[in-house]
Amino acid sequence: YKTLEMIRCPHCNSKLKLLNGVYQKDEIIQGTLLCKCGERFDIEYGRIPNEIYYDITLFEKKLSKN
């Protein structure tokens, strides 16, 4: 799940780990994202919380390879 590689904790900029992920086809529809700084973010109905952001540089690198 490539999205997990690109999202970051809004508090410390670290990568997040998924716990108890529930998948439907290729989507994570439920679970908890954990950060090493102790922050937790719940995924419900396939929605990643708004405060989490994507590392744009990773998107740019991926696009430049195509």
Enumerate residues 6+ apart whose C-beta is below 8 A from 44: 30
| Contact between residue 3 and residue 49 where contact means Cβ atoms under 8 Å apart | no
Q: Per-10-residue mean pLDDT for the chain, 66 residues long?
A: 78 91 88 94 86 64 56
Q: How many Cα atoms occupy the beta-carbon half-sphere of 9 within 13 Å?
A: 18
pLDDT at 7: 85
